[in-house]
Each structure stands twice: as C-alpha cells, then as structure tokens.
Amino acid sequence: MNEKIIKVLLAAAFMCCIAGCSYSSREISVLVESADASADYSDTQSISEDRYVYNLLNEDEKKAYDEELNAILEFEEKAVLSTDDEEVMKRAYDAIMCDYGGLFWINGYSYSKRSYEGALLVFYPGYIMSEDEAGKYQAKVDEAVDVFLQGVSVTDSDYYKAKYVFEELAKTTEYSEDADQNQNILSVLLYHKSVCYGYARAAHYIFYQLNIPSIIVLGSTKESGEINHAWNLVKLDGEYYCMDVTLGDVNGTDGAPDYSYMCATDEGFSPDHFYSGEFDLPECTETADSYKEREASNVQ
C-alpha cells in the first residue's frame, strides 16, 4: 500500500487580546500505519440535521462531516473518510466547529492521504485529553450548567433566555488571555476566565440546552482582518440575531454588560464585526427581539 504523509497547518487556537483575537497555528505531521482502508469506514448516521451549517453542505460534505463528528464523539484514533477531496474534508470540519460548541476535548486535526483503490483521506482528531479525562470533565460541565441554568427554563420566552445567558456569562466570566483551556467551554464553565472563542463556544453550548439554535461565527473586529474574533448568531422566535458576549462583557460599565452586543442586527454589528468564514450565514435584519425594542416596551 502506498501512503503519502501530509503536513497540515492547523488554526489550533485563538490567542486573544482585549480588542479581539488573533490566530496561532501548529504544524502536525502524521505517520500512517499500513492497514486495510476498506475496513476503516462505513455509512455513518447523521445526528446534525438540526444544525444550521450542516444543512448548507452538499451531500459529499455532509457525509464527511458525519464521519468526522462520529470519530470525534467516539474518540476514534482515526477515520478513513469516504472522500478523497481535501477541501471537502476541511469544509466538513469547519462546519462542525460552527455547529458544535461543546467539543472541548479536541483542538484541530491532522490527516494523511493513502492510496487504496484510489486515494482516501485519513482524518486524525487532535485530542487534547483522553476519553477518561473528557468523561470526568463532562460530568463537571453538566453540574456547572445545571447551576448556571437555575434562573431560566426552556419554557421561558426566547428573548428572556437570550438575555439571561448574555447577562450570566458576562457576570460569571472574566476576560483573560491567560485563562486555562481558553479555547473551549471549560474555561468559562469551570474556571470562569476566557477569551472570545471560549465565550462563543460556551454561549452556543448553553443555548442548545435551552432549545435555542445558535451558530459560532469566526471573523474579525477590523475590516483588515488583523484582529480575529468569535461571536454567535442566535435564533429567537424564528429570526436570527447577532450576539457577542465577549465585547458585551469587556465594554460593560457599572457591573452591567453592554447590551448593544445582545440580539443585534448585521447593521448594528457592522462597525466592528467582519465575518471571514466560507459559509453563507443567515441575515440578521429583524429588530423585534432586540434589547432596545424589548426593553423600551418592557416586554419579555
């Protein structure tokens, strides 16, 4: 069997500053063991039909997404994908990172290309902890989320749920570049210190506990793209709104967050939010659940 080793530059982490975030990357090389590639993958059932970015993909990308996500969730060492297209593999992984905020045990991936009755891609999740360690952390996360959600219910209005999450995350989290595990939800829910990517992933994870669809958005706070940043889109009463818990927290005054970053329109976000991703995100033009309109009429 002929095998080709690929070196991949991965955007493995966001190193953040007060004005936003900046990427760092790490180079990973993988030595692929000889194996019968035909036995490494099979049809994988999807669990992501309710995720926004998943539904933007074509059929080949969806299949790669399902295969990659299954490998991540099952802590598989590798997964031989049903595609030989590196761009399909990359788009699938990028979509997973937009659709799932709770995957705290992974940071990036590596891959190789092997020849077996045609080229096949082998996907290697970049685990940062063992399956046993992840299970112990998940139990702690579950406890922390139960405490976090004590003041809200899935039966509350969408607006109240969004406001509650926005306020509680800002109140319980301190912005810190030195925060432990600051690229995932552990930094927010367990250590209460994080940066933009940690805030955005935690918000996404909690919103889904409240049956609020959300998307993790990667972009910049400057049009030049020099200061990278992460925020969320949230779907309230059938319409999408922009939400940036990080800047809401950092720019808050007198113990209250800056509500201009909660349930905003694209136009309201445009001065300091520039999307740099590859997916067609929903437009945010509705104002019915904006903070200004809701609080002006005192309706929640």
**What pLDDT, on the 0 to 100 scale, is given for residue 240?**
98
pLDDT digits (tens, 9 = 90+) for 184-209: 999 999 999 999 999 999 999 999 99
* Rounded Cα distance, 26 and 28, in Å: 6
**What pLDDT, on the 0 to 100 scale, is given for residue 276?**
86
Say whether pLDDT at 104 is over 70. yes
Computed from CA positions of residues 144, 148, 153, 158, in that sequence, does the dihedral angle turn out positive or negative? negative
**What pLDDT, on the 0 to 100 scale, is given for residue 296?**
72
Greatest pairwise CA separation for the chain in angstroms? 69
**What pLDDT, on the 0 to 100 scale, is given for residue 292?**
87
Q: Domain-by-domain residue ranges, the chain? A: 2-127, 132-297
Which CA distances in Å does 190 have to 11, 173, 180, 208, 281?
A: 24, 10, 10, 18, 30
Do residues 186 and 196 touch, judged by C-beta distance below 8 A? no
What pairing do the DSSP bridges indicate for beta strands 214-220 and 228-236?
antiparallel
* Rounded Cα distance, 249 and 20, in Å: 12
Residue type, 263: C
Do residues 188 and 194 touch, judged by C-beta distance below 8 A? yes
Say whether pLDDT at 93 is over 60. yes
Percent of the chain with pLDDT over 70: 82
Mean pLDDT to the nearest integer, 215-232: 87
- 132-297 is classed CATH 1.20.120: no
Give the pTM. Answer: 0.88
pLDDT digits (tens, 9 = 90+) for 18-70: 344 643 333 343 444 444 444 455 578 899 999 999 999 999 999 999 999 99
Q: Provide the token pair at 30.
A: 């993988």
Q: Between residues 249 and 13, which one has the greater pLDDT?
A: 249
pLDDT digits (tens, 9 = 90+) for 269-290: 988 899 988 999 999 999 999 9
State the residue for tokens 């209005």: 157
| Helices (H) then strands (E): counts for the chain | 9, 12
* Rounded Cα distance, 156 and 165, in Å: 12
Q: Between residues 222 and 124, which one has the greater pLDDT?
A: 124
